[in-house]
């Protein structure tokens, strides 16, 4: 029997392949960053051809580092940045335009116009669980069809396909122009604003409103089932492809949050907090998203409430690259530890507007509370604290929607190595924060989904038994200080609103 499972983790800033053994331990990793393209203020793009090339490269890296071949893999799973959208030619495989990234705000006018047809931002929420926002994939397709010469005519002839990054990669991985499968999974489909989350089918009336031909849409499949085999060329030739989840659902799966009431928060480019609500889809009244969490084979889907925060880890990246305040992301903790507190400075990183629970595309970033006392260390603290405060906003909304206060938060992602941030997060929330031994649970979740589909792991109980705690942070801040800090944060957020005017480009 093949001894390993591979997972491809295609993220916002890089692509990874991780190989896991039966105990869920990491055997090997290959990773490569890809270019971030910013044509105009508010626009964010990726080159989908570069991403596909990087997938092939990192798979080869990971297998070589473990001295393995495709024959050693029982299956491969995929996880991806979710709402990032590609439109490509079904005959040539060529994209008609760069991938429009989930952070991109160019569709603001499109979503406003859709809301003006009736219902405002909640026009489709009863069906899709999402507000009208630039975040989601459907309006990105509309923008491409409206703005790229000849694209709409080609789409209406049936020549073009659309999909989030999972669809783009699965199509190529299963053969591309030589019989590739045009498929997506329920978790990614639930982020398009085009899928009815109860029926798990495309809603043709919404597609018509967005002027998207249904012939472009991929077939919707579960998260854990055999999709096909790797294309004849390449390192995964003949390997079973059997799992696909959007990155945040994959992290929830990797954190084994299989029971209603369990929650995880991923600290990556942005932050994404998901609460398992079981087979009941809970409609949010407090600015959260109702989303499909996962569906295993023919079983009923499991739903989640999600709080999406656009800018957390990418704020550290911005401070490194744009301000040159630090030389590397890992330096920020030491710089922040050089002072006792934020010196009164608060940084609200509304670079793409504010996501949950505000959903204000008119907001823009602000650094407030500055005095001549504030120094580099205070700014570094303000950058880290912004992640913790934004997370508290989401947790309060989640507590209100679910009617049950969160008692423990499982955390994962690249930022959880920052112990200053993790302690401050526990302090601001007033609950324990727990990091698992495998902090990069996104790839692990994709591996788990693929492994379940082929019998590599027996069931969710076996996966749960593999989860192990690495470190726990308990609150050490008194309630009065916590509340005072948070009130200042809320004042800072108010300063960011209503910045974009109707005649602005972004």
Average the pLDDT over 171-182 and give the result. Answer: 94
Share of the chain above pLDDT 90, in %: 83
Known binding residues for sn-glycerol 3-phosphate are: 12, 82-83, 135, 247
Of 43, 42, 3, which is closest to residue 20 (Cα–Cα)? 3
Known binding residues for glycerol are: 82-83, 135, 247-248
Q: CA dist 150 to 91, 97, 153, Å?
A: 16, 12, 5
Chain segment 404-428, per-residue pLDDT in tens: 788 889 999 889 999 999 999 999 9
Angle between helices 376-402 and 419-429 (to 10 degrees): 40
Under DSSP, is residue 484 helix (H, G, I), strand (E, B) or coil?
helix
Model pLDDT, residue 504: 64
> Would you call the peptide bond into 73 cis, given omega within 30 degrees of 0 as the criterion?
no
Q: Which helix (H) or strand (E) holds 114?
A: helix 108-116
DSSP assignment of 239-288? PEEEEEEEHHHHHHHHTT--STT-EEEEESSSEEEEEEEETS-PPPSSSP
Name the pLDDT band for 403 (thresholds 50, 70, 90).
confident
Share of the chain above pLDDT 70, in %: 99
Model pLDDT, residue 503: 61
Residue 170 CA to residue 228 CA, distance in Å, equals 9
Block residue for tokens 């160019």: 106
Predicted confidence (pLDDT) at residue 505 exceeds the cutoff of 60: no
Average the pLDDT over 234-244 and give the result. Answer: 94
Known binding residues are: 12-14, 16, 82-83, 135, 247-248, 269, 313, 317, 414, 418
Residue 275 CA to residue 406 CA, distance in Å, equals 9
Model pLDDT, residue 359: 87
Of 221, 116, 127, which is closest to residue 166 (Cα–Cα)? 221
Predicted confidence (pLDDT) at residue 39 exceeds the cutoff of 60: yes
Model pLDDT, residue 438: 83
Q: Which helix (H) or strand (E) holds 76?
A: strand 73-80
Enter the DSSP assignment of 301.
P
Chain mean pLDDT for the chain: 94
Q: What structural domains and CATH numbers belong to the chain?
A: 4-248 (3.30.420.40)
φ and ψ of 10, to 5 deg: -95, 100
Block residue for tokens 């008692």: 407
Of 226, 160, 168, which is closest to residue 50 (Cα–Cα)? 168
Name the pLDDT band for 483 (thresholds 50, 70, 90).
very high
The tokens of 25 are what? 């331990």
Residue 234 CA to residue 185 CA, distance in Å, equals 24
Residue 321 CA to residue 476 CA, distance in Å, equals 33
Chain segment 1-32, per-residue pLDDT in tens: 679 999 999 999 899 999 999 999 999 999 99
- Which residues, 6 or more positions from 408, have their beta carbon under 8 angstroms from its beta carbon? 431, 432, 433, 434
Block residue for tokens 């792991």: 457
Known binding residues for ADP are: 12, 16, 269, 313, 414, 418
Name the pLDDT band for 502 (thresholds 50, 70, 90).
low
Residues facing 57 on adjacent strands: none
Average the pLDDT over 362-382 and give the result. Answer: 95
Average the pLDDT over 99-105 and give the result. Answer: 94
Known binding residues for ATP are: 12-14, 269, 313, 317, 414
* Count of helix runs (H) and strand runs (E) in the chain: 16, 23
Model pLDDT, residue 330: 87
Chain segment 280-327, per-residue pLDDT in tens: 898 889 989 999 999 999 999 999 999 989 899 999 999 999 999 998
Model pLDDT, residue 308: 87
Model pLDDT, residue 329: 82
Residue 237 CA to residue 231 CA, distance in Å, equals 5
Angle between helices 137-147 and 108-116 (to 10 degrees): 110
Model pLDDT, residue 440: 78
């Amino acid at each position: 029997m093949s001894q390993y499972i591979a997972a491809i983790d295609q993220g916002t800033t890089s692509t990874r392949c991780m190989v896991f053994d039966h105990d869920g331990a990491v055997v090997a990793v290959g990773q490569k960053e890809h270019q971030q393209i910013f044509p105009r203020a508010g626009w964010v793009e990726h080159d989908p051809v570069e991403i596909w090339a990087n997938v092939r490269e990192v798979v080869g890296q990971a297998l070589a580092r473990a001295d393995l071949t495709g024959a050693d893999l029982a299956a491969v799973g995929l996880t991806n940045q979710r709402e990032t959208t590609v439109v490509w030619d079904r005959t040539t495989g060529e994209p008609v335009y760069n991938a429009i990234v989930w952070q991109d705000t160019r569709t603001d006018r499109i979503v406003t116009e859709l809301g003006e047809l009736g219902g405002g931002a909640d026009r489709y929420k009863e069906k899709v669980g999402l507000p009208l926002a630039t975040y989601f994939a459907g309006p990105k397709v509309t923008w491409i069809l409206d703005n790229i010469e000849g694209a709409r005519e080609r789409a209406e002839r049936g020549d073009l396909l659309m999909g989030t990054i999972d669809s783009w990669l699965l199509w190529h991985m299963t053969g591309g122009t030589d019989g590739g499968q045009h498929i997506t999974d329920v978790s990614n489909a639930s982020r398009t604003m085009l899928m009815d989350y109860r029926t798990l089918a495309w809603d043709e009336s919404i597609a018509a409103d967005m002027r998207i031909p249904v012939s472009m849409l991929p077939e919707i499949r579960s998260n854990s089932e055999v999709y096909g085999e790797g294309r004849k060329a390449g390192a995964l030739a003949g390997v079973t492809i059997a799992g696909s989840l959007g990155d945040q659902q994959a992290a929830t799966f990797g954190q084994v949050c299989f029971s209603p009431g369990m929650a995880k928060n991923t600290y990556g480019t942005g932050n994404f907090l998901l609460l398992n609500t079981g087979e009941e889809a809970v409609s949010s009244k407090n600015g959260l998203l109702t989303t499909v969490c996962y569906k295993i084979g023919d079983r009923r889907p499991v739903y989640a409430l999600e709080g999406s925060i656009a800018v957390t880890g990418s704020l550290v990246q911005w401070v490194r690259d744009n301000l040159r305040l630090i030389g590397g992301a890992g330096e920020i903790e030491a710089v922040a530890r050089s002072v006792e507190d934020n010196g009164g400075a608060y940084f609200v990183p509304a670079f793409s507007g504010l996501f949950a629970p505000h959903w204000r595309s008119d907001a823009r970033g602000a650094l407030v509370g500055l005095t001549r006392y504030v120094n580099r260390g205070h700014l570094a603290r303000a950058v880290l604290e912004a992640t913790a405060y934004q997370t508290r906003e989401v947790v309060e909304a989640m507590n209100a929607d679910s009617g049950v206060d969160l008692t423990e938060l499982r955390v994962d992602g690249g930022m959880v190595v920052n112990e200053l941030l993790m302690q401050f997060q526990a302090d601001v929330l007033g609950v324990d924060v727990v990091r698992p031994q495998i902090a990069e649970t996104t790839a692990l979740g994709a591996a788990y989904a693929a492994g379940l589909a082929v019998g590599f792991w027996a069931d969710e109980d076996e996966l749960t038994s593999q989860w192990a705690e690495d470190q726990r942070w308990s609150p050490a801040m008194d309630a009065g200080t916590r509340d005072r800090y948070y009130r200042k944060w809320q004042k800072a957020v108010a300063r960011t609103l209503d910045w974009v005017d109707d005649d602005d480009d972004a």
